[in-house]
Chains A and B, each alone.
Chain A
């Protein structure tokens, strides 16, 4: 998703959901943009939004579910307070990306695609961020960082944590 992570996500509200859906429902091929907008508003696509989207766009709930589960950007549960993404593409592998990925899961205590039970952090994998001559590359809360090895990752995560005790 292209969203500014510093913008706080709003708590669920059916009225706000309908308003968000309505803002994009007249676009051509609206289903994906609508789901992206919902995620931008709420941080994820709440299950309660699915029937609302289906009704507004005159598609089945299965259609909505299908799109929601196809795209790796779209979340069905809230992300952690900090979102770390590690590039696993070949160009980053060539400069230590595999070791960085292993370090990330070990030191952060979560697997790729997982959020810590306390909601403090989500770790995601991404296949290429287009920073292939300055890898290994990660994003922390949407900010791109190049030439990140294990120590830099620890520092970046530390700096991003509100209380500074994430890593």
Chain B
């Protein structure tokens, strides 16, 4: 293990985070609120430690797989730690555990909060919460790769460990250019979203916060009632679409720009994702029409918003879906596991994995009838290798195992089964709200410190797609001899 380069790179990440904090501190200066002190202290501390670490001597600049995984996991832990300081120092939360939970929830684009009344928070803090969604969504290290030179080949190791989905491909030969293109697309969607929300009557501040929350598929809000507070059809639809758009693989937008319509429309993950969204919207709309809402349009509007919000793992709410009929709730619960597309900012298991799992099940059934058949599992025209398939199956198994383990440990706090299990699912899948006592109108403040730390770990695991983090905690990883 090349510790020098790991520490050096982590230092650069902290410097980058300190730079990112300049934006919320500008907001707090603009509104002249008490949180400006918290930001000033955090920026100084984070920046200084970052600069100090980035001076660390490294023998070589090579980042191999081991270094890549270590950098990514520790970068997220450190970024969450320092990102928690403003919450703690401004006394927006009671304890450092709460601050850490809030910070992890922001960076991992979960959007679960421990703050019962967000409307009293200073603007700078509100901005920081949502801003972490924005760069956490696409990835802190991807951002670093795109703006800082000289990670070279190591950049790809880091990029692979941080971006979502079972297969990571570059869209252009250089990793730096790939990262740049992705961020450019991301930035364009962000600007578009902000403009559309301002047209809908939001203030610039609110428009930014909600755009960050939607395109990062995070879910932090400035209102206790989330997007429901605006009660505007236009805003509901704009945010629904923003979330859906951010749940799509970003490299497809690059193909769109290259005018490759056929490949985009033929993308099997996209079709599956849109199919799931469409079916779920219709089923829920039929279920809540008459039961909850009087008109079919209203049912569709709320159904679309909630489905988009849950499948992209954003977690915004326009209605208290906890009061919807059980059938609708179960659909939403299942969507929590599916998640968005690979290469998007969304969490969950990712549509492509679910799609491949379904195809594998189909293959197994075929094999019962034709034991000697050779059937390749294809994604589009591309047959998936055994390694990829094995990876996907074990990912599913591990995801389920962590969900059950999480539920078990959270249940020590004594809440009911639905609360405990949906809290585990909502944090592991980076969604945010769950059902019952963690439903859309509740927060996570009621849990014990133990559960909050556990859920922070689940969120990190979910964001970094399990294996990146798990590998680091296996004893084999740290042994130099293998």
Query: Is B one of A's binding partners?
Result: no
